[in-house]
Amino acid sequence: MAEAIARHEASDIIIPSSAGLVPLGYIAGPTSRTLLGNGFQVDDLFSKPVTRDLWNDAEIVINMSGRRAPAAFPDFRDLGKVENWLVQDPYGADTAVYQRIFEDIRQRIQELADRLRAI
């Protein structure tokens, strides 16, 4: 969700690339339906792993795994660029939970974008 939201609402300041610790290889149906239902595109979205290239290219890494950065990213050294967001994983939950999490992530991305624009 975060990548689609950032593309739509903060593309002037954020070049998003979403990756997960345990990627499914696809975007779950409820995630796609939530994004589409809120007017967001899902084209070109897919679940992918955190790779060394993605890590090195990132200026900021948003960690939504619920794990502390050293445990979440044991193969990477520059943990100073990690920002932790405590966001519930909606996988397997009902539509209302997906919508609530969408709104939470959307608000956090807006706050991040505002902070970056002020730099």
Considering the domain boundaries, does residue 80 fall inside one?
A: yes
Q: Mean pLDDT, consecutive 10-residue segments, the chain of 119 residues?
A: 97 96 92 98 93 96 96 95 96 96 98 97
Considering the domain boundaries, does residue 87 fall inside one?
A: yes
Considering the domain boundaries, does residue 114 fall inside one?
A: no
Q: Supply the CATH number for residue 41's domain.
A: 3.40.50.2300
- For residue 28, give its domain range: 2-109
Contact between 66 and 86 (Cβ < 8 Å): yes
Considering the domain boundaries, does residue 116 fall inside one?
A: no
Write down the pTM of the prediction: 0.94
Considering the domain boundaries, does residue 31 fall inside one?
A: yes
Considering the domain boundaries, does residue 118 fall inside one?
A: no
How many domains are contained in the chain?
1
What pLDDT sits at residue 51?
95
What pLDDT sits at residue 52?
95
What pLDDT sits at residue 56?
96
